[in-house]
A and B are shown apart, each in its own frame.
Chain A
Amino acid sequence: MSPLLHVSNISKRFGGFVALDGIELEVQQGECVGLIGPNGSGKSTLVNCICGALQNEQGSVHFDGQVIDGLAAHERTHRGLARSFQLPRPFVSLTLADNIRVPMLYTVHKRTGPLHADSVDARCVELLRLVGLDKKARQMPRDLTQVEMRKLELARAVAAEPKLLIADESMAGLSHSEIEDILLLLKQLNERGITIILIEHIMSAVMSFSKRLVVLVSGKKIADGKPQDVVRDPEVVRAYLGQ
């Protein structure tokens, strides 16, 4: 079976700084992949190159059997690639329900043809219920707590009905129980058939969630395999703890 996502030898530079250096990555349909690495290792740049916020200079990205190089970010979302942002970026002038409505109008609409207004409303409520925000549907994002904001961010990404969801540090700065909340949510999404790449610093979360772990250091992939094996890899230990 061909992989859902195939990142082939991509590189990205910012001036003289090499942010990504020949990254090779395959993600199969239905997988839960953890992506870790120290600060500045290129995780977010990789996500930006996959999602179209940045364009890679070398290599190519295949998604769902097609080359998606050069496509704008919104076109990649239309094809089933969704992301959440490291720092939540809600649409501040829209209510929570309307935040969810946007990807449905612009992405799901595009794929399935016009949806009935009632079915869009029902789906908004359903998604907000999934993340436990249904009671706040008519409130504005500024009324939310940090964890709620991250849940909204995930719900908005899921509203686009993606095949692959990339969650970029959706647990940073949260308490233990809040992390459990988000993990449970991600597992539920995976059970619904969404392939997930989780980028995270919190190792307990990554270890409990991922079936496979990929490690980036200084723009290079240094490990890729079962989580238990990867964390014992001497090179990974060296990258995290030093020598």
Chain B
Amino acid sequence: MSTLRFSLISVAIGLVIYICAHLFGMGYLFFAGYTILQFIVLSSAWNILGGYCGYVNFGSAAFFALGAYSTVFFYKFHPLPIPLLIVIGAVVSGIVGLGMGYLTLRLRGAFFAIATLALAVVLQTLVINWDYVGGSRGAYIVREETVLILGYPIQYIEYLFLLMMVIAIFSLVVSRTIGRTQLGFGFATIRDDELAAEASGVPTLRLKLIATTLSGALMGMAGAPFPYYIGYLQPASAFGLEYGVNSIAMPIIGGTTSWVGPLVGAILLGSLQQIATVTISSAVNLLIVGLLLVAFVIIAPNGLVGLVQDRLRARRSR
């Protein structure tokens, strides 16, 4: 399927979901849906570096928070429309991703993972001490009740949901396109064997920098509308553990070798967490993620997609 066709089908599916939710007339659906879409973006973004290239990033929350705090900064400095803030979030996080890549990509395995974790801690400390964006007290973002789209007034949460839908579709298209092009082949060789990749002519450092930049930029895009969604942003929520953990757990549970895995993982885990939040308590969210992660690492290390692929291959060779 061509990229254009894939994009059109994704947009159509997105619209159907929106219309169904709209007809249901329940604000909560948009509220929960937004979170799931946001995790689709985060897990797809994580997967570009973690799944395709094999470099585990524990600092997803940092890139997400950078996007969110860019928005807070402009809210105070000079309010801009959210689509523009999303672009700014992408640029800021992308640049930090490039910088982080340049500084840390000579490290491998656990050392790289620890460096990304350190980045999150450093950025959080900076934000806590930056009064202009609220410091440790946090910042309030006041949003309108409704917004006019093509002349029609719609609820603000529906507007945010639509924006996040667009970002989610964009991140899936990017992730899928990478997997099908020369870049995807290059990323796979880095994951498999960097020395052999270099010997085959793959410029590994440049490719890894492309991966950290793209991955960071997408995470920044996911974070940019967040202050408007949450209304009150404090460092502990933007740099929350749940973003770092979910961004890793969702692709691993779904499967890391293609764009489908993070999508499946995000829908599955995201929905489970929403159900748990409503029926039990939001405190069990991370417990669910932890348990599922342990179970999948033991039972299906290649995730759900890998499990299905293995079954299909076994059936074919029978």
A212 within 8 A of B: no
Given A74-B204, A106-B186, residue A52 in contact with residue B196 (CB < 8 A): no
For residue B208, give the distance in angstroms from its CB to the closest CB of chain A.
12
| A85 lies within 8 A of B182 (CB) | no
CA–CA, A78 and B199, complex, Å: 9
* B199 cross-chain contacts in A, Cβ below 8 A: 51, 53, 73-74, 77, 82-83, 85, 157
For residue B313, give the distance in angstroms from its CB to the closest CB of chain A.
9
| A105 lies within 8 A of B192 (CB) | no
CA–CA, A92 and B199, complex, Å: 15
B230 within 8 A of A: no
* B204 cross-chain contacts in A, Cβ below 8 A: 74
Interface residues of A (CB under 8 A from B): 51-53, 72-75, 77-78, 82-83, 85, 89-94, 98, 101-103, 105-107, 109-110, 156-157, 159-160
Contact pick for B195, options A53, A94, A101, CB 8 Å: A53
CA–CA, A109 and B203, complex, Å: 13
Contact pick for A103, options B188, B192, B200, B205, CB 8 Å: B200
Residue of A nearest to B206 (CB): A74
* B182 cross-chain contacts in A, Cβ below 8 A: 105-106, 109
B interface SS class: helix
Residue of B nearest to A81 (CB): B199
* A75 cross-chain contacts in B, Cβ below 8 A: 203
The 7 closest A-B CB pairs, nearest first, are A107-B201, A73-B198, A89-B196, A106-B201, A77-B201, A103-B200, A91-B192
| B185 lies within 8 A of A160 (CB) | no
Residue of B nearest to A78 (CB): B201
Those of B159-194 within 8 Å (CB) of chain A: 182, 185-186, 188-189, 191-193
| B200 lies within 8 A of A102 (CB) | yes
CA–CA, A78 and B203, complex, Å: 10
* B186 cross-chain contacts in A, Cβ below 8 A: 102, 105-106
* B257 cross-chain contacts in A, Cβ below 8 A: 93
Given A92-B192, A94-B192, residue A102 in contact with residue B197 (CB < 8 A): yes
Known: A93-B188, A93-B257, A102-B202; 8 extra A-B contacts, CB below 8 A, are A53-B195, A74-B198, A74-B204, A89-B196, A91-B196, A102-B201, A106-B182, A107-B200
| B201 lies within 8 A of A103 (CB) | yes
Given A89-B195, A89-B196, residue A110 in contact with residue B189 (CB < 8 A): no
| A53 lies within 8 A of B196 (CB) | no
Interface residues of B (CB under 8 A from A): 182, 185-186, 188-189, 191-193, 195-205, 257
CB within 8 Å: A-B pair count: 82
Given A89-B193, A94-B192, residue A101 in contact with residue B185 (CB < 8 A): yes
For residue B25, give the distance in angstroms from its CB to the closest CB of chain A.
46
For residue B148, give the distance in angstroms from its CB to the closest CB of chain A.
46
Given A94-B188, A101-B185, residue A74 in contact with residue B201 (CB < 8 A): yes
* B191 cross-chain contacts in A, Cβ below 8 A: 93
17 chain-A/chain-B pairs, Cβ below 8 angstroms: A72-B203, A74-B199, A74-B201, A74-B202, A77-B199, A77-B200, A77-B201, A85-B195, A89-B196, A93-B191, A94-B185, A94-B189, A102-B185, A102-B201, A105-B186, A106-B182, A109-B182
Residue of B nearest to A53 (CB): B195
* A93 cross-chain contacts in B, Cβ below 8 A: 188, 191-192, 257
Contact pick for A53, options B188, B198, B203, CB 8 Å: B198
* A105 cross-chain contacts in B, Cβ below 8 A: 182, 185-186
Residue of A nearest to B190 (CB): A91
Residue of A nearest to B193 (CB): A89
Residue of A nearest to B186 (CB): A106
For residue A14, give the distance in angstroms from its CB to the closest CB of chain B.
17
* A51 cross-chain contacts in B, Cβ below 8 A: 199
* A85 cross-chain contacts in B, Cβ below 8 A: 195-196, 199
For residue A203, give the distance in angstroms from its CB to the closest CB of chain B.
27
* A78 cross-chain contacts in B, Cβ below 8 A: 201
